[in-house]
Structure 1
Amino acid sequence: MAKLTALKPSLRSPPPLLTTPPKLADRFYLTKEWRDLVASIKRERGPYCEAVLPSGQVCRSGNRIIGDHIQERRDGGADLDRNNVRLLCFACHQAKTAAARKARARGRV
């Protein structure tokens, strides 16, 4: 008796018509002035996340720490004012940026 084998599907999913363009870093964040400022803040404050969590505690993660404008540049925040920069881990930065984008879309900024 012959064995039945599964046939490979002959139809494939079509390629997506729309793709997300790759994210390009704003040239400002590649400047020596910005990098020097963030390095200086990390030396001064320590390389830990300064985000306040919903529980009221400070995150303090040391994972992928980046400098973040408290008031975003596009919303009028000063570029190189160290008082407008806090250190955030990547996860907290993504959450903060998404919330700011949502608020801006609703016209609250």
Structure 2
Amino acid sequence: MLATPGYCDAHRVAVHREYGRARRGFDTERGFYQSAAWRAVRAAFLRAHPLCARCEAHGRVVAAVVADHIQPLKDGGARFDWANLQALCVACHNRKTAGETARHTRRI
């Protein structure tokens, strides 16, 4: 048991290293999400898919505002392929992202 909150010495370095990798990836992805090409694909996709796919699957009608990559870019997902996109509301996107982050953190 740890005397203080945080990571033990054996895992502290690994967690810090992974955070740095994730941060560098985020900065690269953020640049992509600001590109004119992505904005055009996102707008066209949301026009074609105006409802949240997850809410719709549960019988709810909620407007989609996020064109989400089903397979994340950091995991090799295709950037512009509509087959790798799903329309989500903010709540569903946040739940999906939190789940991905938790799974990724458990791998460390």
Q: TM-score, normalised by structure 1?
A: 0.64
Return the alpha-carbon distance in structure 2 between the equivalents of residues 52 and 96 of structure 1. 13
Matched with 1:35 is 39
Tell me: CA distance 1:59–1:83, structure 2 relative to 1, closer, same or farther (3 Å): farther
Matched with 2:98 is 98
Question: Does the 8 A contact of 1:48 with 1:87 survive in 2?
Answer: yes
Question: Does the 8 A contact of 2:55 with 2:61 survive in 1?
Answer: no
Q: Which runs of 5+ in 2 are unaligned?
A: 1-25
Q: Deviations over 1:30-70 (max 9, x none)?
A: 1111111111112222x2111258xx61553116x111100
Return the alpha-carbon distance in structure 2 between the equivalents of residues 41 and 75 of structure 1. 21
Matched with 1:51 is 54
| Equivalent residues in 2 for 1:8-87, closer than 5 Å | 26-45=30-49, 47-51=50-54, 57=58, 59-62=60-63, 65-87=65-87
Q: Which has the higher contact order (CA 8 A, sep 6+)?
A: 2
Q: TM-score, normalised by structure 2?
A: 0.65
Q: How many residues get paired?
A: 81
Q: How far 1:93 sits from its partner (Å)?
A: 0.5
Instruction: Give RMSD over aligned pairs.
Output: 2.4
Runs of 4+ in 1 over 2 A off after TM superposition: none
Between Structure 1 and Structure 2, the one with more helix by share is 2
> Identity over aligned residues, as a percent?
33
Bigger-Rg structure (1/2): 1
Q: Which runs of 5+ in 1 are unaligned?
A: 1-22
